């Protein structure tokens, strides 16, 4: 978990640009649209939509954007149909990778993902081949200078958080998926600033990479994440502290 958290922290810093924020908004819009289409536009009756809206608000998406995405999903607004696709495979050095896509062109998305896996010496696998290595959980990130650990624990444990870990300058609050909203609402009620909030997947088994091996794996993950059809990428690699130190420079 530690190596995963530290790499996530580096990625958050790299993503703190206007261009990156625009891509985050696009991903949130797609998730809200799909959630509204599959479960209806009422957040009170659609848990997935509630979670998607929570994630959108955590990155300061305007309410008007959220409303348009919901209406697009329910059919009140026109536009192309966004479909979900999931890919599983192995990247370089035996790293397990899950790729979640939201696309209006299934052939394009599948071709792009397959091409990138092949380019870096990996391969796609059958459904279920690697997904069992990952567990869904809620992840809420808070700056350490916003709240002390004891005060944070007091807020999040009662509504159902599993754990609070500290990596670098951030706290990471882990929750069961079913308690994610309750923990998030408790933090909002206490006016604790939240850097990000999402339901994600964390690996139960990790592959430790050397500095030499890390390059190809990270490049594959980065290129997958840059693809417009890709929503999320999960991988089970862990990077030693000395490798992370060089990457963060």
Residues 93 and 212 in one domain: yes
Residue where a domain terminates, one of 33, 52, 74:
74
Report the chain's mean pLDDT, rounded to a whole number: 89
The answer to whether residues 163 and 198 belong to one domain is yes
Per-residue confidence (pLDDT) for residue 2, from 0 to 100: 38
Does the residue 65 lie in any domain? yes
Residue 245 lies in a domain: no
Q: Do residue 64 and residue 105 come from a single domain?
A: no
What global pTM score does this model have? 0.86
The reply to whether 186 falls in a domain is yes
Residue 113 and residue 210 in one domain: yes
| Plot region of 129 (φ>0 → left; ψ -120 to 50 → alpha; else → beta) | alpha
pLDDT at residue number 146: 96
What is the structure's pLDDT at 18?
46
Q: Distances from the Cα of 169 to the Cαs of 6, 7, 20, 238, in angstroms?
A: 10, 13, 21, 19
- pLDDT reported for residue 24: 86
Domain count, the chain: 3
HSE, side-chain direction, 13 A CA sphere, residue 21: 10
Per the domain annotation, does 96 fall within a domain?
yes
Mean pLDDT of 170-183: 94
Residues 137 and 187 occupy one common structural domain:
yes
Q: For residue 229, give the CATH number of its domain.
A: 3.30.70.980
The answer to the question of residue 247 being in a domain is no
Residue 62 maps to which CATH number? 1.10.10.200
Q: Are residues 22 and 52 in the same domain?
A: yes
**Which pLDDT score is estimated for 79?**
77
Q: Are 70 and 163 members of one domain?
A: no
Domain with 220 in it: 83-132+206-239
Kindly report, residue by residue over 184-236, the tens digit of the pLDDT: 999 999 999 998 888 999 999 999 999 889 989 999 999 999 999 999 999 99
pLDDT of residue 66: 97
* CA–centroid distance for 235 within its chain: 11
Q: Are residues 126 and 137 in the same domain?
A: no
**Residue 108 is assigned to a structural domain of this protein:** yes
Structure confidence at residue 168 (pLDDT): 78
> pLDDT tens digits for 29-81?
999 999 999 999 999 999 999 999 988 988 889 999 999 999 999 999 887 88
How much is the average pLDDT of 78-104?
94
**156 and 97 within one domain:** no
- 64 lies in some domain: yes
What is the predicted pLDDT for the residue at 23? 82
């Amino acid at each position: 978990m530690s190596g995963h958290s530290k790499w996530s922290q580096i990625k958050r810093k790299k993503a703190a640009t206007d261009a990156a924020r625009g891509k985050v908004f696009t991903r949130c819009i797609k998730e809200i649209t799909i959630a509204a289409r599959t479960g209806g536009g009422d957040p009170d009756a659609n848990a997935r939509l509630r979670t998607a809206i929570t994630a959108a608000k955590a990155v300061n998406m305007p309410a008007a954007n959220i409303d348009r995405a919901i209406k697009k999903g329910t059919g009140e607004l026109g536009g192309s149909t966004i479909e979900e696709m999931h890919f599983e495979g192995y990247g370089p050095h035996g790293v397990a990778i899950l790729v979640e896509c939201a696309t209006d062109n299934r052939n394009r998305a599948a071709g792009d993902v397959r091409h990138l896996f092949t380019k870096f010496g990996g391969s796609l696998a059958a459904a279920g081949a690697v997904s069992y290595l990952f567990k869904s959980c809620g992840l809420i990130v808070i700056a350490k200078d916003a709240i002390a650990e004891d005060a944070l624990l007091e807020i999040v444990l009662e509504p159902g958080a599993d754990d609070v870990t500290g990596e670098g300058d951030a706290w990471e609050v882990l929750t069961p998926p079913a308690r994610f909203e309750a923990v998030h609402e408790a933090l909002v009620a206490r006016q604790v600033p939240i850097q990000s909030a999402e339901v994600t997947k964390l690996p139960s088994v990790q592959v430790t990479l050397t500095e030499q091996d890390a390059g190809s794996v990270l490049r594959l993950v980065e290129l997958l994440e840059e693809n417009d059809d890709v929503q999320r990428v999960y991988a089970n690699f862990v990077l030693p502290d000395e490798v992370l130190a060089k990457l963060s420079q």
